[in-house]
């Protein structure tokens, strides 16, 4: 576990760019990124700066992953109802 963490961190160090977008810019752009992804487009190729930020920033990545999951659910018509979600919390 520790070894993987160190390795991942090392990779993050090497993937560092001179210019990287901020968390605020990421927040503005991430819904478009998710839209491209759920439309079957290559979002990472079209928005490399955003992809780079998501690879480096755990907080923004957590939000992105949740947004992607929720959008996919909705697009497939399978989003859980509020009542189902309430019931799942105990």
Rule CB under 8 A: which of 36-55 touch another protein?
A: none
Q: Which residue has the tokens 């992953």?
A: 65
Size of interface with another protein, in residues (CB under 8 A): 44
32 contributes a contact to another protein by CB under 8 A: yes
Element of type H or E holding 79? none
Burial 34-61 (b: 16+ CB within 10 A, else e): bebbeeeeebeeebeebebbbebbeebe
Residues that bind another protein (CB under 8 A): 2-3, 6-7, 9-14, 16, 18, 20, 22-24, 27-28, 30-32, 34-35, 56-59, 62-63, 66-67, 69-71, 74, 79-82, 85-86, 88-90
């Amino acid at each position: 576990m520790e070894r993987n963490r160190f390795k991942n961190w090392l990779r993050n160090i090497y993937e560092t760019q001179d210019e990287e977008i901020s968390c605020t810019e990421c927040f503005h752009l991430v819904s478009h990124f998710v839209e491209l992804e759920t439309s079957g487009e290559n979002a990472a190729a079209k928005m490399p700066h955003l992809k780079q930020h998501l690879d480096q920033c755990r907080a923004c990545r957590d939000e992105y992953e949740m947004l992607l999951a929720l959008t996919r659910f909705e697009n497939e018509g399978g989003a859980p109802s509020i009542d189902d979600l309430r019931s799942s919390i105990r």
